[in-house]
Amino acid sequence: MRDVEAVDVAVAREAEIGDFDAVRLEDPGGVRPHEESVAVEQRIRSVVVVMHAALQGVAGEDEVLAVVVRDEDVLIELPGATLQGYLHIPENAVGVVAFAHGTGSSRHSPRNQRVAAALNHHRIGTLLLDLLTEDEERLDAIDRHLAFDIGFLSERMVGIVNWLMADVRTSKLPVGLFGASTGAAAALSAAVELKDAICAVVSRGGRPDLAADALYEVQVATLLIVGELDDVVIDLNKSALERIPCTDKKLIIVPGATHLFEEHGTLDQVVDYTVEWFSTHFVASRVQRISVR
């Protein structure tokens, strides 16, 4: 079993979905991972059908969220920093997810890009970005003092979400947060501060425990995904889950997966559950907005 420090330094990059208690994807009745993946894909498609039914005829012209595909590099101006990001908004997007990368990762992470591509395929926009500037990254490479400063990273995430809500390309879209490693703690802490502005959070191989007392105030739908062989992180996620008061919370333990979900088929499961989680909650959020008008 790796110690916590080793887990901290490792780069975690995947997503999650789970149950109130730890849910393993093994089924006593014999459901295999492939069959589970197919079932998830079918549920995702049904969610999209429900989404169209909810929006067709109910939403007026001003309810159209995003018609034109946006695919571009962006600069996010925040107090004291300019962050680089990559924004992709698919046609008729139903929401947008900002990625909070963990230690040693960036917007160029191939695993996060794969998760983002799957979300884009299901009409969910994504913002891949670096939470640190290039100068900050160079300094942080020495002692990792910023990578584990959850308050600092959370403040950056709050600024990023405010940017999304103010930008004409994304201002009408419900927002979700995807966090890996220490980015999971930053995402949850930001969700506490932003309250109803955040629709859902997903953590993959994350360290939600580092959000500390903020966990007791989390009211956003939260999904935690951890690899079965990532022993220390499993325990940390279970403990964090117990402290979150929101009833819409889940933890899934992916069989045979280590911290980075590098084993065959494990990242596919992360992708499927992440898409399903955000699709479901974005649709629910949108229908609720329309119904109260």
Q: Are 140 and 42 in contact (CB under 8 A)?
A: no
In our burial notation (b when 16+ CB lie closer than 10 A, e otherwise), range 222-235 reads bbbbbbbbbebbbe
pLDDT at 119 over 70: yes
Q: How far apart are CA 74 and CA 166, in angstroms?
A: 14
| pLDDT confidence of residue 110 | 85
Assigned token pair, 232: 């220390």
Assigned token pair, 1: 């079993």
| pLDDT confidence of residue 182 | 92
Angle subtended by helix axes 150-166 and 182-194, to nearest 10: 60
Instruction: Kindly state the average pLDDT of the residues 238-252.
Output: 98
Neighbours of 120 (CB within 10 A): 18
166 in helix, strand or coil?
helix
Q: pLDDT band for position 290 (50/70/90)?
A: low
pLDDT at 62 over 70: no
Instruction: Kindly state the average pLDDT of the residues 26-41.
Output: 45
Q: How far apart are CA 240 and CA 201, in angstroms?
A: 14
Instruction: Kindly state the average pLDDT of the residues 226-240.
Output: 97
Q: How far apart are CA 128 and CA 111, in angstroms?
A: 11
What are 8-30's pLDDT values in tens digits?
Answer: 333 333 333 333 333 333 333 33
* Pairing state between β 70-78 and 81-89: antiparallel
pLDDT at 34 over 60: no
DSSP assignment letter at 279: H
| pLDDT confidence of residue 139 | 85
* Pairing state between β 81-89 and 125-129: antiparallel
| pLDDT confidence of residue 285 | 79
Q: How far apart are CA 85 and CA 127, in angstroms?
A: 7
Domains and CATH numbers, the chain: 4-27+70-291 (3.40.50.1820)
| pLDDT confidence of residue 36 | 53
Q: How far apart are CA 149 and CA 10, in angstroms?
A: 16
Q: Are 174 and 282 in contact (CB under 8 A)?
A: yes
Q: How far apart are CA 94 and CA 230, in angstroms?
A: 33
Q: Is 212 left (phi over 0), alpha (psi -120 to 50) or beta?
A: left
Look at the block and give the residue holding tokens 């899934």: 252
One-letter amino acid for residue 155 of the chain: E
Mean pLDDT, the chain, as a whole number?
80
| pLDDT confidence of residue 289 | 58
78 in helix, strand or coil?
strand
Assigned token pair, 249: 């919370």
Assigned token pair, 201: 């959070």
| pLDDT confidence of residue 180 | 92
Q: Which residue has the higher pLDDT, 63 or 164?
A: 164
Give the lowest-confidence range in 71-80, 185-194, 265-274. Answer: 71-80
| pLDDT confidence of residue 221 | 98
Look at the block and give the residue holding tokens 């891949």: 128
Give the lowest-confidence range in 63-67, 145-149, 254-258. Answer: 63-67
One-letter amino acid for residue 126 of the chain: T
| pLDDT confidence of residue 50 | 43
| pLDDT confidence of residue 96 | 98
Q: How far apart are CA 235 and CA 266, in angstroms?
A: 19
- 95: Cβ contacts below 8 Å, ≥ 6 apart: 65, 124, 125, 173, 174, 175, 176, 199, 278, 282, 285, 286
Q: How far apart are CA 50 and CA 258, in angstroms?
A: 35
Instruction: Kindly state the average pLDDT of the residues 229-244.
Output: 97
